[in-house]
Amino acid sequence: MSSRNNPFDELERIFERLSREFSDASRSWKWNEPSMPWMGEESMAVDLVEHDDHFIVAVDLPGFEREDVEVSVTDHMLRIDAKRERETEDKDSQYIRHERRHKTEQRSISLPDAVDPENVTARMKNGVLTVTLPKIETDEARSIDIE
């Protein structure tokens, strides 16, 4: 009696492997972002810290220079745009591996309280952008007499 392999066994193994890999990859997706949940950890990593009178936002931007980054702010939203131009390629060289590329990243961060856009400061050191956003002082709630 000849023992023949079932041709569908190999297909089943392939589908199981794809399912496992898809499941592993989907764990890093950021479903709470408004768009592009598949970007996972490649997106800008952000820390937002609240102090009494200001917020501090730290953003990882490895490989970007200060000139590559734009920061804009409204009273409740911080937007960061980072763009790295493609380096000119040497026409006489033949690449064995060419993985570095032009890269553009952007991120909008909703702030829990209003901030003063005129007094926001930003600095960048070692690929980490730190933005300090002073809160706008609000008048304390006052009691209203009901007639």
Q: What is the pLDDT of residues 43-94, one digit of tens each?
A: 689 999 999 999 999 999 988 889 999 999 987 899 999 988 766 666 677 7
Token pair 């950021």 is at which residue?
30
Quick: pLDDT tens for 93-125: 777 777 666 778 889 999 988 899 999 999 999
Domain spans in the chain, listed from the N-terminal domain onward: 8-40, 44-88+96-138
Order of strands across the sheet that contains 128-134 = 46-50, 54-60, 128-134, 121-125
Distance between CA atoms of residues 31 and 19, nearest Å: 19
The CATH fold assigned to 44-88+96-138 is: Immunoglobulin-like (2.60.40)
In this prediction, residue 132 carries a pLDDT of: 96
Determine contact, residues 69/129, Cβ cutoff 8 Å.
Answer: yes
Q: Which residue has the higher pLDDT, 19 or 71?
A: 71
